[in-house]
């Protein structure tokens, strides 16, 4: 570039500098606003675990009579002590139980089947050596609530009816709440499951769930 061209460029730059600065400022502010909006959109509420307890108790009463050592076909079981086992040992027991001809591998207070347990191990980043005790089972149940839309519900993105309907897909003893035969289990007719709770009880309990303050 010649000296004349450089001088022209410099004069032009100095003359247009205010508008260039204004444009740059606008771009920076716009990008900043987009970044903040993205953070807000991706921020999720946390559940108040105390407010979730009534729903966990309702599910447990229907699924296992509240027994952390229950298994399919024996809600009162205390012979097999799942709460003393590691998660890996529970998985082995489930495999053996199915191999013996039993139709379901559901275990614990929330009747978690083997495929669901495998998914929880992955999602909760567990190694399988953790105890399948009461605390762990409760943590797993809360994770399942979150999978089924608990956070979206408390954030106002889905209705209580939709959340309750999602729960029926996770726990067969809960009613569908919506659609045809709302009092029936989502899995009605499979020969294994039936709804043991009425829709209003589920909705009343869902209403108690709150965000963590």
Domain check: are 131 and 192 in the same one?
Answer: yes
Domain check: are 15 and 109 in the same one?
Answer: no
pLDDT computed for residue 37 by the predictor? 44
SS3 at position 153: helix
- What CATH number has the domain bearing residue 181? 1.10.530
As beta bridge partners, residue 150 has: none
pLDDT per 10-residue tile (average), the chain, 213 residues = 60 59 51 44 73 98 98 98 98 98 98 98 98 98 98 98 98 97 96 95 98 88
pLDDT computed for residue 45 by the predictor? 80
The set of residues, in sequence order, having a beta carbon less than 8 Å from that of 141 and lying 6+ positions away, is 56, 59, 109, 110
The set of residues, in sequence order, having a beta carbon less than 8 Å from that of 44 and lying 6+ positions away, is 151, 155
Domain check: are 200 and 99 in the same one?
Answer: yes
Domain check: are 62 and 126 in the same one?
Answer: yes
Q: Which domain holds residue 13?
A: 1-41
In a domain, 193, yes or no: yes
In a domain, 211, yes or no: no
pLDDT computed for residue 19 by the predictor? 56
Domain check: are 36 and 53 in the same one?
Answer: no
- Domain tally for the chain? 2
CA distances from 102 to 3, 88, 205 (A): 90, 20, 33
What φ, ψ does residue 128 adopt, rounded to 5°? 95, -10
CA distance 68 to 133: 8
In a domain, 213, yes or no: no
CA distance 46 to 114: 27
Domain check: are 9 and 101 in the same one?
Answer: no
Domain check: are 33 and 127 in the same one?
Answer: no
pLDDT computed for residue 40 by the predictor? 34
Give the residue carrying structure tokens 């998660």. Answer: 87
What φ, ψ does residue 47 adopt, rounded to 5°? -75, 140
């Amino acid at each position: 570039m010649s000296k004349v061209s450089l001088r022209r460029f410099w004069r032009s730059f100095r003359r247009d500098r205010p508008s260039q600065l204004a444009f740059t400022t606008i771009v920076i502010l716009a990008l900043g606003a987009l970044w903040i909006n993205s953070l807000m959109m991706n921020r999720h509420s946390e559940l108040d675990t105390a407010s979730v307890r009534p729903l966990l108790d309702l599910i447990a009463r229907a699924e296992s009579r509240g027994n952390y050592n229950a298994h399919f076909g024996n809600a009162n079981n205390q012979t097999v002590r799942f709460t003393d086992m590691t998660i890996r040992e529970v998985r082995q027991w489930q495999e053996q139980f199915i191999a013996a001809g039993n139709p379901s591998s559901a275990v614990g207070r929330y009747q978690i089947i083997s495929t669901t347990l495998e998914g929880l191990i992955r999602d909760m980043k567990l190694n399988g050596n953790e105890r399948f005790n009461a605390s762990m089972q409760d943590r797993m149940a809360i994770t399942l609530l979150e999978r089924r839309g608990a956070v979206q519900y408390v954030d106002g993105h889905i209705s209580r009816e939709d959340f309750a309907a999602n729960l029926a897909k996770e726990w067969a003893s809960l009613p569908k709440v919506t659609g045809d035969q709302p009092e029936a289990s989502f899995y009605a007719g499979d020969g294994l499951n039936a709804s043991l709770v009425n829709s209003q009880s589920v909705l009343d309990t869902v209403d108690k769930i709150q965000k963590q303050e």
